[in-house]
Amino acid sequence: MTASARSSTCPDSDKDEDTAAAPAQKEHSFRAWLSVLGAAVAFFCTSGFMNAFGLFQEYYAQHQLIDKSAFDISWLGSFAMFMMFLGAGLAGVLVDRTGPTSLLFGLSISFLITPPIATVSWYFTKNRGLALSVSISGSFLGGVIWPIMINQLLNHRNVSFGWTMRIVGFTMIPLLVTACIVIRAPLKKIPTEEKPVELEGPQKPTKKKLDLSILRNPAFLPFAIGLTIFYLGMFSPFFFISTYATSLGKSDSFAFNLISILNATSMFGRMILGLLADRYAAFNVCSVAALLSGIIGFTWTAVDTSGGLIIWSMAYGFASGAMLSLQITCAAQISSPENRGTSMGLAIGASALTYVILLRSDILHS
């Protein structure tokens, strides 16, 4: 078997290839961890805010959309998630061709999450699972803080909905500016042994070609299909846990706090399972996390007490929390550094198909 064949079929081979061709700077450099911090901030402001949609689901049902069903209201969250995942493929292709900096100034969420994680994956090889887990944990930290903040403004401080959203925007602006400043691509290794060949006359800059070779990797298609199936149900508790709690007669404050509990334990699950992924292989840990999430999900409606809801939210959050970071780690593992952004973007973008199905079911139900 040739070396090229081995690299296209064995996920671990690309990781070894990255190590052999590591950049000049150390993996745990200040520049690298600044990029991790910037990625965490970007996730805090984007998907972290999306993780708080369960609060809006219940608030809309009691205020602006009181005449609409829960399924009608969930269409808003489903469509937002669809747009977030849909743009990830394009963002991944562009980050491989242009680098992360220009893309971080984009307005869409997908253009704010794909470049940072691609940049972090370029820095880390041995500890990639941990680094990506720390980066994406900003998402679930946002899922803890945003619901508490918005609940306090809307339900306790009597701030109007419009001004609550403005306060959210004012909070995000300096954070995203910080992310744009600190996320930088790795320094390229400068050759010192050989002198560059000087050519006569002006030379046109070479453009990077579109690299979709990841689609020919036999591991990528089953991986993308598996993610699509998993995401059919993954975010349902994030959307409906508060609505389910109020349907059992629990208070609004308790219901809203369940969202923060779910996201807090997701952050710990992401960290711990990310560490395990570096030791026991990302695909193995990802499969176990998906299986546990499904098993715990089937027990949801059997819980009807306050203590049971808290324990269930903690268990589901811990198991499902690692999936987003692990799917990115897996995508990086089966790709080369040159098409890593494309691989990650397409892996995330494949999940958009899930929300097409969810949107269609919502429309048919209404």
Query: Which CATH number is 55's domain given?
Result: 1.20.1250.20
Domains contained in the chain, number: 1
Q: How far apart are the C-alpha atoms of 160 and 163, rounded to whole Å?
A: 5
Neighbours of 346 (CB within 10 A): 22
In a domain, 129, yes or no: yes
In a domain, 221, yes or no: yes
Cβ–Cβ < 8 Å for 319, 289: yes
Cβ–Cβ < 8 Å for 266, 144: no
Lowest mean pLDDT among 144-148, 257-261, 359-363: 359-363
Looking at the predicted structure, is the pLDDT value of residue 37 above 70? yes
50: amino acid identity, one letter: M
- 217-248: pLDDT as tens digits: 888 888 888 888 888 888 788 878 888 998 89
15 against 214, higher pLDDT: 214
DSSP H stretches of helix in the chain:
3-9, 11-20, 30-45, 47-50, 53-62, 70-98, 110-123, 128-151, 161-182, 220-234, 236-247, 252-280, 282-297, 306-321, 323-333, 340-349, 352-365
Instruction: Provide the pLDDT for residue 219.
Output: 86
Instruction: Provide the pLDDT for residue 131.
Output: 84
307 CB-near residues (< 8 Å, 6+ apart): none
Instruction: Provide the pLDDT for residue 94.
Output: 65
82 against 26, higher pLDDT: 82
In a domain, 17, yes or no: no
pTM (two decimals): 0.67
Instruction: Provide the pLDDT for residue 119.
Output: 84
- 195-224: pLDDT as tens digits: 433 434 444 445 566 667 778 888 888 888
| Mean pLDDT estimate for the chain | 76
In a domain, 16, yes or no: no
Query: What are 202's two structure tokens?
Result: 């002006």
Burial class of 243 by CB neighbour count within 10 A (0 to 12, 13 to 18, 19+): middle
299 against 348, higher pLDDT: 299
315 half-sphere exposure, CB direction, 13 A CA radius: 17
Cβ–Cβ < 8 Å for 211, 341: no
In a domain, 199, yes or no: no
pLDDT band at 329 (very low <50, low <70, confident <90, very high): confident
In a domain, 64, yes or no: yes
Cβ–Cβ < 8 Å for 164, 154: yes
Instruction: Provide the pLDDT for residue 306.
Output: 93
pLDDT band at 26 (very low <50, low <70, confident <90, very high): low
The average pLDDT across 142-153 equals 87
Lowest mean pLDDT among 164-168, 177-181, 334-338: 334-338
Looking at the predicted structure, is the pLDDT value of residue 275 above 60? yes
Reference 89, options 225, 233, 212; nearest CA is 212
Q: How far apart are the C-alpha atoms of 307 and 212, rounded to whole Å?
A: 49
Instruction: Provide the pLDDT for residue 81.
Output: 73
Instruction: Provide the pLDDT for residue 356.
Output: 60
In a domain, 333, yes or no: yes
Boundaries of domain holding 286: 25-187+211-365
In a domain, 339, yes or no: yes
Instruction: Provide the pLDDT for residue 6.
Output: 40
